[in-house]
C-alpha cells in the first residue's frame, strides 16, 4: 500500500477500535490510538504474512508486547483477513476468543501471549535468535510501550540482542509519554531513550510515530545491528479530548464523548 492508502486504513481502524471499546465498556483506548499507525504500516505494508496460512514458516514475526492494546490488534488482524471482521463485535464478551490480552492459542496471527509487561521483547529476542540458528529469513518486530521500558527484563533483552548480533530484530517503542495513572516523567523518567538504547550497541531511529511516511521508512530500514525505533506518539491520537491525557489509559467514553469521537474520526476519513 502507498502512504495515503495506509493513512486511510489507519483512520478506519481507529474508528472501529473506538466502536469496539465503547460497545464492550472496557479497553485501553489511549494507547490503542497511539499505536494504530504502527500496526497499520506493519500489517498492510511491511510484514511478510499470509492470513490464510497464519503459521507459514517463512512469515515475519510480530509481538505486541503492550498486550493491553489488544483491541487495536484484533481490528487490524480482522481488516487484514486473519479473522472475520464481524468477530470484532465480540470483543470481551463471554466465550469470545478476543480477550483483553492476545492469546496465540485462540487468535490466528498472534505469535505469543502478551500482557505481563516486559515479556514481549525477551520473547522476540528468542525468535530472532532462533532464526539465526536455523538459517531462517524471517524478520522479528516487537512493539513495547514507553512505560513498559521501566521493566529490567527489557534491558537484559536489549543487551542480548546486541551481543548476538540480531540484525533481524526491530524494536519499536510507542513513546506516548503516559502510562497507567501518570506521565512517564512523573513515574520513572526514561527520556531520552535514544542514548540509553544506543549505549547497548543498537542502531536507533527517532520518528513521529503518528506520521505514516516516517513509520514506514523506519520499519523498512535494514542495517547490520538490531534496530530500535523510538516513535514519538500522542496518547489518544486522532480524538481531540483524549490526546495526551492520562485519564484515557483505560477510560471508556460515555455516549456524548463517543459521538464526538466518532464525528472527529469520521470527518478524517
Q: Which residues pair with 142 in a beta bridge?
A: 63, 171
Instruction: Please tell me the predicted confidence (pLDDT) of residue 95.
Output: 96
Q: What are phi and psi of 143, to 5 degrees?
A: -115, 125
Global pTM value = 0.97
What domain count does the chain have? Answer: 1
Asked if residues 217 and 170 have their Cβ atoms less than 8 Å apart, the reply is: no
Instruction: Please tell me the predicted confidence (pLDDT) of residue 14.
Output: 98
Instruction: Please tell me the predicted confidence (pLDDT) of residue 269.
Output: 78
Residue 224's domain is classified under what CATH number? 3.40.50.970
- Classify residue 103 by its DSSP letter: -
Cα separation values, 224 from 41, 62, 167, Å: 22, 20, 5
Instruction: Please tell me the predicted confidence (pLDDT) of residue 182.
Output: 87
**By C-alpha distance, which of 25, 51, 148 is closest to 107?**
51
Domain that holds residue 111: 3-267
Provide the phi-psi class of 178: left if phi over 0, else alpha when psi is between -120 and 50, else beta.
beta
Average pLDDT along the chain, 269 residues, taken 10 residues at a time: 97 98 97 98 98 98 98 98 98 97 98 95 98 98 96 98 98 94 88 97 98 98 97 96 91 97 92
Amino acid at each position: 500500500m502507498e502512504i495515503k492508502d495506509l493513512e486511510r486504513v489507519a483512520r478506519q481502524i481507529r474508528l472501529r477500535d473506538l466502536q469496539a471499546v465503547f460497545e464492550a465498556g472496557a479497553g485501553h483506548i489511549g494507547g490503542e490510538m497511539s499505536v494504530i499507525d504502527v500496526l497499520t504500516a506493519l500489517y498492510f505494508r511491511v510484514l511478510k504474512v499470509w492470513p490464510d496460512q497464519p503459521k507459514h514458516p517463512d512469515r515475519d514475526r510480530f509481538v505486541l508486547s503492550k498486550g493491553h492494546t489488544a483491541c487495536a490488534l484484533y481490528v487490524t488482524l480482522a481488516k487484514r483477513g486473519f479473522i472475520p471482521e464481524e468477530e470484532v463485535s465480540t470483543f470481551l464478551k463471554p466465550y469470545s476468543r478476543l480477550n483483553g490480552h492476545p492469546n496465540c492459542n485462540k487468535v490466528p496471527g498472534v505469535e505469543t501471549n502478551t500482557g505481563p509487561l516486559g515479556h514481549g521483547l525477551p520473547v522476540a529476542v528468542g525468535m530472532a535468535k532462533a532464526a539465526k540458528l536455523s538459517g531462517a529469513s524471517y524478520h522479528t518486530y516487537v512493539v513495547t510501550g514507553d512505560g513498559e521500558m521501566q521493566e529490567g527484563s527489557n534491558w537484559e533483552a536489549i543487551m542480548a540482542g546486541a551481543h548476538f548480533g540480531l540484525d533481524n530484530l526491530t524494536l519499536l517503542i510507542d513513546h506516548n509519554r503516559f502510562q497507567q495513572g501518570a506521565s512517564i516523567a512523573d513515574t520513572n523518567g526514561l527520556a531520552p531513550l535514544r542514548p540509553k538504547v544506543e549505549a547497548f550497541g543498537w542502531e536507533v531511529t527517532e520518528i513521529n510515530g503518528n506520521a505514516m511516511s516516517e513509520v514506514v521508512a523506519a520499519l523498512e530500514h535494514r542495517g547490520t545491528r538490531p534496530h530500535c525505533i523510538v516513535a514519538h506518539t500522542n496518547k489518544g491520537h486522532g480524538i481531540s479530548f483524549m490526546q495526551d491525557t492520562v485519564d484515557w489509559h483505560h477510560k471508556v467514553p460515555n455516549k456524548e464523548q463517543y459521538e464526538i469521537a466518532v464525528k472527529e474520526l469520521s470527518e478524517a476519513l
